[in-house]
Structures are given as C-alpha cells and as structure tokens.
A = this chain, B = another copy of it.
Amino acid sequence: MRDTTPQGTYKVQALDRAFAVLDLLGESETPLGLAQVAASLQLHKSTAHRFLMVLERHRMVERTANGKFRLGLRLFDLGNRAIEQYDLRDRAQPHLRRLVAETEETAHLALLEAARVIYIDKIEPTRAVRMITRIGASNPVHCTSVGKAILAFLPPERAAEVLRRIRFERMTHRTIATLEALRVELEKTRRRGYAVDDEELEEGLRCIAVPVLDAQRLPVAAVSVSGPSFRVTAAKLPSIANHLLQCVRGISVDMGYMPTGRGARAVASA
C-alpha cells in the first residue's frame, strides 16, 4: 500500500497520547472511567486524569452523569467544518489530471445547482485546442453530460424537482427538447452507467460523464471528458467511461466516501 505516512519522526508525546484517548473513547461503545482509560492506554492515572481534564476544558470530551468520559461535541463541530471547507476540487484534481493524461481530452468537474451545472474545475491536455468553458460558468442540465450524469442517479424525488425546473432551451439541433425524451435518456444513462452528450450543447462537441457518489451513494458532483466528435468517437466511449469510473472511484476514496480502494463499481447500482 502506498504509505501516506512519509515520516514517523515529528513527535509530540502529549498529542499522541491525547489522540489515543480520543480514539479509545471513539471506539468504545460506552463511556469510560478514568481508570479504564489509564489502563487501556498504559498511562498513569494522574497523567490520564490531566489529559481528560484538559480535553474536557476544550469540550473534546465530556462527562456523563456518573463521571465517565465520552467524546465531546466540539469534535462534532470541528468535523462538520472539516467537510464543509473541504473542497472536492482539491481532492479531485490529481485524479482529473490522470484522467486527462489517459484520455488526452479535457476533463471537467461540475456540481449541480438548481437546474444548471456549474463547472468547478477543468483540466486540459497540453496540446488540445482550447475549449471555451470557463470555471465558474454554468450550463443547463439537460444538454450536458455532467448534468445528465448527476440527474440520472439522484433519488427520484430530488430528480423530479430538478426536472420541473428545466426550460428546454435549444442549443443545437440535437439538444433534447422534451421532458419525455430526457426521461428516456436518463434511463439509458442509468443502464449503461455513464451519461453522454452528443453535440447537444455545441456542434461538434461530444462529452461523457459519470457522477461522483458520496457515502450515501448520492451524486455530489460529476466528472466529464469532452472533445471534438471526430476524436471522441462512439467506439471509444466505453473505454473512456472506464477511465472515468476509475477516476471517480479514486475521488470517492480520497473524499472518504468509500472506505477502501477496492469497493464495487461506483455506479450501476440501480
């Protein structure tokens, strides 16, 4: 396994011990007494006591009515801040780079907002013709592969909400123009596990996308590969889709959404 612990050096005994206490309390089903903590971690009573008091002052642990210790709510607070400021973008970037290297086409990372998709990152292959997309820009869901990828795997009620909001603007002669046609297309997307935009947003541009699923297997974003139709041919789609699936799986693991690297296919659940 690629070890992410480059240096075992850098030690602060007090911190290692304190975190061991938190770990222990986190593992334990029930609150633990001072003596139990001290014994489990081979700490002297007085040492354990001091740590617990300090941790309590920081609300990292708290005491139950009978004086036992358990994890405190400050952790809950910090934890929520951690994922909040945590952005998908930084995590996804290395995976996107690899994807671009593999496919030699442009990759996008996008989020769904209302009935539009917003591109939060874009990676281009070095020698490709520049695409005109701008990070931060948005497009309607119904004519983008990222939009369809997210929509297809959203729970029905949330998908319905988005569908209601779509105004079927026509971008090219191939743009999906009706709710019914879109429904059919989403079903197709679910079955094959990836979404395709075949010149529906822009003439000559073909894209393919898969959703990034969170721990609840809900799509939080989508990754796409886009390129000129003459290079991104129908025959190549399955192979590109495969790279995409590997890519989003990597992202999910890095986000902590999937416990291990192996897990089943990221999509194709329904």
What residues make up the interface of A, taking CB atoms closer than 8 Å to B? Answer: 5-7, 10-12, 14-16, 18-19, 22, 26, 28-31, 50-51, 53-60, 64-65, 70-73, 75-86, 90, 93-94, 111, 113, 118, 120, 126-127, 134-138, 157, 161, 256
A93 touches B79 (CB 8 A): no
**Complex CA distance for A135 and B84, rounded to whole angstroms:** 10
> Are B73 and A256 touching (Cβ within 8 A)?
yes
- Chain B residues with Cβ below 8 Å from A19 are 58, 60
Given A10-B57, A50-B12, A59-B113 in contact, is the A90-B65 Cβ separation under 8 Å? yes
Given contacts A64-B90, A126-B157, contact A136 B15 (CB under 8 A): no
Whether A86 pairs with B73 at a CB distance below 8 angstroms is yes
**Which residues of B sit under 8 angstroms from A65, Cβ to Cβ?**
90, 93-94
A16, chain B: closest CB distance, angstroms: 7
The winner among A15, A70, A79 for most chain B CB atoms within 10 A is A79
